[in-house]
Amino acid sequence: MWYVIQVRTGTEENILAQCGKKIPPAVLERIFIPYYEEKKHIHNEWIVQRKVLFPGYVFAVTEEVEKLYEALRSVIGVTKLIGTGKEIVPITEKEKQFLLEFGGEEQLVEMSEGIIVGDRTIILKGPLKGKEGMIRKIDRHKRKAWLEVEMFGRRQEVQVGLEIVEKRKEIAGASSICCGM
């Protein structure tokens, strides 16, 4: 089962390292942080950087949640295991499938590429392809998109990398030409 550990934002890597050292593999099958790629313009060139997709959260895979809960007491900086009230609950199968589909086994959401035709965003390639409806805002200059996703039992806003390679006015039949629909 996949569980979510809440930590102070900015300490995700530290918590990941501590858990890797202090919690035995029999208790913790896997621990990871989902990332996304973004492009930054530094010294006149575009550099691809990795950023934390869900700041303040680390994901743990275990079948021994009670033992994990006990082991996390020795990890400095852990706030809590996410749950409902006093019960620790795993993420839903739908949330797990979203993470796997979006970030793959490596849990890295790569840059997507798209175009804007009129007021429609059309993703040509990348993990956002087919998920255009999740996009809430685009910043073409920062090459980012903000998405609204259902995660941890509530709506979360996350940033991902999106490069808009072309923007054009609506043309009759354009959506069938550029999307193959």
pLDDT digits (tens, 9 = 90+) for 69-124: 999 999 999 889 988 777 889 999 999 999 999 999 999 999 999 999 998 999 99
- pLDDT band at 60; cut points 50, 70, 90: very high
- Phi/psi at 167 (5° precision): -130, 125
Does residue 172 have a pLDDT over 60?
A: no
Element (H, E) at 181: none
Mean of the pLDDT values across residues 10-33?
95
Quickly tell me which residue has 């950087």 as its tokens: 49
Q: Name the average pLDDT for the chain.
A: 90
Does residue 175 have a pLDDT over 70?
A: no
- For every residue of 17-68, DSSP letters joined together read HHHHHHS-TTT-SEEE--EEEEEEEETTEEEEEEEESSTTEEEEE-S-HHHH
3-state secondary structure of 122: strand
